[in-house]
Copies of this chain bind each other. A is one copy, B any other.
Amino acid sequence: MRKLHLNAFLMGVGHHEAAWRTAGADPSRVTDIRHYQELAQIAERGKLDSVFLADSLSFWGDIKYHTLGGLEPVTTLAAMAAVTEHVGLIGTVSTTYNEPFNVARKFASLDHISHGRAGWNIVTSAFESEARNFGGDLPPHAARYVRATEFVDVVTKLWDSWADDAIVADQDQGIYADKEKVRAVDHKGHLFKVHGPLNIPRPPQGRPLLVQAGSSEDGKEFAARYAEAVFTAQPVIYSALAFYADFKGRLAKYGRDRDDVAILPGLSPIIGSTEAEAARLQEELGALVVPESALGALSDVLGVDLTDHPLDEPLPEIPGVNEGQRSRAGVVVAMAKREGLTVRQLLSRLAGNRGHRVVAGTPERIADEIEEWFTKGAADGFNVMPPTLPGGLEDFVDHVVPELQRRGLFRTEYDGTTLRENFGFARPAVAHA
């Protein structure tokens, strides 16, 4: 039987860009490790599969208005591991600006530190501003995926370079490891030459969980080949159903089953004890958005300067944006047209969801939505994006999760101790040549 999976996507003091301005919000928590440790503990209290930290290697917005500049994901997850026992720990690391040996090692280490709870969200770093922190020009999209493919290949070889029983630790004879079972990988590819072995024993999970969120054609093929969990932005169930069917259909050609990958659309739940309270909360958050800030960000996304465009009129025609394409610009333009939004309304929407599904309502209403998407085959679970943190995650864990448990949709206890066990995946065997 399919099981529902829930991941808590943690971002500073909340996913809503105005979260830090709400009453009671403490913006200094953005760099406070206790904040992230508490969030992991809240997620674990809710029996969530995992927590997830996104990343970029430059600002993705305007520091004047946005609480940018948080902690680095993998160091943060290591400190979160120290105060939790069950919840999975997924961190984002780029294949474009790192070396496979270092990344293999970092996640193997996190997997040992957390006793098998590490996951790697693989990104290729699409911003020009990131490229400028690493020497200059952004490699083309396709080249980034070529590198990512060989990169992941090398990383998995390195994780497999120690057999599970390589360590003998024979104290009497003084033999620590069986050298036949700690093997060079001797990778000689187009982009990387890596001899190995990794200088860290095989991770407890065999391989940390591989996660991906690409929505381009290259991204989906890459995910179909490697990913075990996929994050995706789907604002409505129709697009989610299409994405789900399309993606699951790509797996067979890589020799994989439909159940080998969990598809987790983003879901931003705005929770109230009544519908009216939830709607009011959503309004309040929207009203705290600084239009100047949001307009600048929207201009960047659409590639058109909108800073002089009247806020209470619809979006103008945006040249060169095809609504059918999977780009962020296409998604935004399509949403504005579909819902007949003024620019002000569009900004308010985007502030809270960045193209993801937003549901404002009671815990029952949010559970209904989750149940519908899950049972209709639009999702295997959700990447939960609380508008405010820690409050929004606490509300989800204390009110939505119990409702899902009452309906028999979500676990009431952890089944195992590793992230793979949370997702129901077997531990991979060593793939020795």
Could you tell me which A residues sit within 8 Å of B by CB distance?
18, 20-21, 25, 27-28, 31-33, 37, 56-59, 62-72, 74-76, 78-79, 81-83, 97-99, 101-102, 105-106, 108-110, 112-113, 129, 132-136, 162, 167, 169, 171, 174-179, 182, 192-201, 288, 290, 293
Task: For A32, give the chain B residue with the smallest CB separation.
Answer: B112
CB distance from A283 to the nearest CB of B (A): 16
Among the listed B113, B135, B136, B194, which residue makes an inter-chain contact with A134, where contact means beta carbons less than 8 Å apart?
Answer: B194
**Is there an interface contact between B102 and A71, defined as CB atoms closer than 8 Å?**
no
CB distance from A308 to the nearest CB of B (A): 20
CB distance from A300 to the nearest CB of B (A): 16
Which B residues are in CB contact (< 8 Å) with A105? 72
Interface centre among A63, A71, A169, A198 (most CB of B within 10 A): A63
A67 to B175, CA, bound (A): 9
Among the listed B33, B64, B201, B293, which residue makes an inter-chain contact with A31, where contact means beta carbons less than 8 Å apart?
Answer: B201
**Is there an interface contact between A133 and B194, defined as CB atoms closer than 8 Å?**
yes
- Can you list 11 residue pairs at the A/B interface with Cβ under 8 Å? A21-B171, A27-B169, A27-B176, A31-B200, A37-B82, A63-B182, A69-B182, A71-B113, A75-B113, A79-B113, A97-B99
Which B residues are in CB contact (< 8 Å) with A58? 199
Beyond A99-B134, A109-B72, A113-B71, is A175–B65 a contact (Cβ under 8 Å)? Answer: yes
Among the listed B70, B81, B82, which residue makes an inter-chain contact with A200, where contact means beta carbons less than 8 Å apart?
Answer: B70
**Is there an interface contact between A64 and B112, defined as CB atoms closer than 8 Å?**
no
**Is there an interface contact between A171 and B25, defined as CB atoms closer than 8 Å?**
yes
Which B residues are in CB contact (< 8 Å) with A194? 132-135
Which B residues are in CB contact (< 8 Å) with A171? 20-21, 25, 27
Task: For A180, give the chain B residue with the smallest CB separation.
Answer: B64
A280 to B56, CA, bound (A): 56
**Is there an interface contact between B75 and A177, defined as CB atoms closer than 8 Å?**
no
**Is there an interface contact between B27 and A106, defined as CB atoms closer than 8 Å?**
no
A175 to B293, CA, bound (A): 10
Task: For A62, give the chain B residue with the smallest CB separation.
Answer: B179
Task: For A185, give the chain B residue with the smallest CB separation.
Answer: B133
Which B residues are in CB contact (< 8 Å) with A67? 176
**Is there an interface contact between A174 and B133, defined as CB atoms closer than 8 Å?**
no
Which B residues are in CB contact (< 8 Å) with A198? 69
Beyond A75-B113, A97-B99, 9 additional contacts (C-beta under 8 Å) are A20-B176, A25-B171, A33-B81, A67-B176, A68-B176, A82-B82, A97-B101, A98-B99, A133-B196
**Is there an interface contact between A176 and B79, defined as CB atoms closer than 8 Å?**
no
Which B residues are in CB contact (< 8 Å) with A25? 171
**Is there an interface contact between A21 and B75, defined as CB atoms closer than 8 Å?**
no
**Is there an interface contact between B101 and A134, defined as CB atoms closer than 8 Å?**
yes
**Is there an interface contact between A199 and B113, defined as CB atoms closer than 8 Å?**
no
A82 to B82, CA, bound (A): 6
**Is there an interface contact between A79 and B81, defined as CB atoms closer than 8 Å?**
yes
**Is there an interface contact between B106 and A75, defined as CB atoms closer than 8 Å?**
yes
**Is there an interface contact between B82 and A33, defined as CB atoms closer than 8 Å?**
yes
**Is there an interface contact between B199 and A59, defined as CB atoms closer than 8 Å?**
yes
